[in-house]
Amino acid sequence: MDNIGKLLNAAGLGYEHLVKVTILLSDMSLYTAVNEVYGSYFREVPPAREAYAVKGLPRGVNVEISGIAVQG
pLDDT tens-digit readout, 7-61: 999 999 999 999 999 999 999 999 999 999 999 999 888 999 999 999 999 999 9
User: 39: Cβ–Cβ under 8 A, 6 or more apart, which residues?
Assistant: 46
User: 47: Cβ–Cβ under 8 A, 6 or more apart, which residues?
Assistant: 18, 19, 20, 21, 67
**Which pLDDT does position 49 carry in this prediction?**
95
**Which pLDDT does position 45 carry in this prediction?**
85
72 Cα distance to chain centroid:
20
**Which pLDDT does position 44 carry in this prediction?**
87
What's the CA gap between 33 and 9, in Å, rounded? 25
**Which pLDDT does position 23 carry in this prediction?**
98
Give the domain CATH number at 57: 3.30.1330.40
**Which pLDDT does position 72 carry in this prediction?**
78
Q: Give the global pTM.
A: 0.89
**Which pLDDT does position 52 carry in this prediction?**
96
Number of compact structural domains in the chain? 1
Provide the residue range defining the domain that includes 40. Answer: 2-69
